[in-house]
Amino acid sequence: MQIIFLMTKLSVNINKIATLRNSRGGNVPDLLKVAMDCERFGAQGITVHPRPDERHIRYNDARELKKLVKTELNIEGNPRDQKFIDLVQEVKPTQVTLVPDGTGQLTSDHGWNTIEHKDFLIEIISEFKRNGIRTSIFVDADEKMVEGAKATGADRIELYTESYAHDFKTDKQKAIAPFIVAAKCANELQLGLNAGHDLSLENLKFFKQNIPCLLEVSIGHALISDALYFGLENTIQLYLRQLVDEA
């Protein structure tokens, strides 16, 4: 099969900015200004992942961001929470990414079992799509889970890349292998392909070079951490350069 490479969008996850803001109870740093600056500096999307305890992104942040974001707004979360469903239906972001987080979970650590939860996902995805919201499902790099995602009616999948990032330093070829297989499966099924979790300046370029038709990466923790050293504008440009196709 011929491998086709497309422009990959960078969506900046600003949860960590909200965590810093919330630690002092005021509005420093200004989350909305940071989001607008990320776009101004070249980011092609903004991602937020509100959780039920609102320990970082607050539900009202999503409402305010909808008014300001000019690129694409991606809201991540677990649709088993009715409050999350209501928020997405109200805000109508460009994309909703369905993540099977547990209540109080520190960070995402696994993808959906799209076979076991097929009926639930079909129901919730059809509802979001009726409202014109692009849907993506967070999945592990497993062909069966990719095939299951297709059966739910999702528009895209987001490959959960923690294992890739973890294994990259010791054996990058072994680390990327299951993701190549999963990506090819998604392409054959005509599922859009996103990726995220622990992607960084160290491992992003190799991932991009090996994954066909990668539409979007969502990056937060590493990017915001790098910005402490390099500055936000410069950091976004550094990440964008990792996503440029080489002739």
How would you write the pLDDT of the chain (247 residues) with one tens digit per residue?
344 446 899 999 999 999 999 999 999 999 999 999 999 999 999 999 999 899 999 999 999 999 999 999 999 999 999 999 999 999 999 999 999 965 554 455 578 899 999 999 999 999 999 999 999 999 999 999 999 999 999 999 999 999 999 999 999 999 999 999 999 999 999 999 999 999 999 999 999 999 999 999 999 999 999 999 999 999 999 999 999 986 5
Print burial letters for 196-208: b (CB count within 10 Å at least 16), e (below 16): bbbbbbebbebbb
- pLDDT at 104 (0 to 100): 54
Q: Which of 39, 56, 158, 197 is catalytic?
A: 197
On whether residue 3 sits in a domain, the answer given is no
- Tell me the helix, strand and coil percentages in the chain, rounded to 5: 45, 15, 40
On whether residue 96 sits in a domain, the answer given is yes
On whether residue 98 sits in a domain, the answer given is yes
On whether residue 247 sits in a domain, the answer given is no
pTM of the model: 0.93
Task: Report the distance separating Cα 57 and Cα 189, nearest Å.
Answer: 34
On whether residue 99 sits in a domain, the answer given is yes
On whether residue 4 sits in a domain, the answer given is no
Instruction: Confirm whether 49 is a catalytic residue.
Output: yes
- pLDDT at 246 (0 to 100): 66
- pLDDT at 245 (0 to 100): 80
Q: Is residue 82 exposed (0-12), middle (13-18) or buried (19+ Cβ within 10 Å)?
A: exposed
- pLDDT at 4 (0 to 100): 45
Beta bridge partners of 75: 48, 96
- pLDDT at 190 (0 to 100): 97
Look up the domain containing 237 and give its range: 9-242
Q: Which of 39, 72, 76, 158 is catalytic?
A: 76
Residue 60 CA, chain-centre distance (Å), reads 20
Instruction: Confirm whether 72 is a catalytic residue.
Output: no
Q: Which of 49, 56, 158, 216 is catalytic?
A: 49
189: domain CATH number is 3.20.20.70
| 8-state DSSP, 61 | H
Instruction: Confirm whether 221 is a catalytic residue.
Output: no
